[in-house]
Structures are given as C-alpha cells and as structure tokens.
Amino acid sequence: QASISSLARLGRGCVALAGVAVGARATIGDNVILLQGAIVSHDCRVGDHACIASGACLSGGVEVAADSYIGANASVRGGVKIGSRSLVGIGSVVLKDVPENTVVAGNPARVLRRVMP
C-alpha cells in the first residue's frame, strides 16, 4: 500500500508500488514508476517517464526531469535538480545539481560520464 498526500498530483499512467510515500504538493508526471519504498517528499517535481527505484529518497523540493532514473537507495538533497535523461547510481548521495544526459554515482555523487541524447 502506498501513501499519497491528497495535495499531491499524479500523472496518467503513474505506478506507485507498495511502501511508496508521496508528500504534499509533489507533482508526478505521466508514466512515472515509483518502485517499492521510494520516497518523494513535499514540493518535488518528477518529469514524465522517469523511474524512482526502490528505497530512493527525494528530499523536499527536488526536481527530476523527464526520462531520468534514480537508482535504488539513492538519496537526493533538498532543492537539487536532476537533468533530463540522467541516471543516478544505486546508493548514491546527490548533493549538487546533475546536468542532463549525465551518469552520476557515489557518496558524494560524482559525474562518471556524459551520455548522448
């Protein structure tokens, strides 16, 4: 069972699996997958076709652009922006903005490579 704030907005085709928590004023785009135990805190924005993997935590005000992937058990600091078509590796701790088309991983997360759009 998921816990979705009545003040959150979920787009068409969005899937929220067991244990997901979505906070107040969060906006989830179309066709987003929120896997088991993912947390999307207050005022977050998740773009279309993104995936937030199991146990990942988006602190308040995080923006995840379209077509991005946040790996399992990753943590993203409040107010950080993840660019479109980017990937955050498993267990990463993201403290700074991630440009579009970028793969980051580690604690703290560092750029591993740029990917072609």
Active centre residues (catalytic): 42
DSSP three-state, residue 53? coil
Q: Euclidean distance between the first and final Cα of the chain, in Å?
A: 36
The CA distance from 60 to 83, in Å, is 17
The CA distance from 54 to 30, in Å, is 19
Bridge partners, 113 (sequence order)? 103
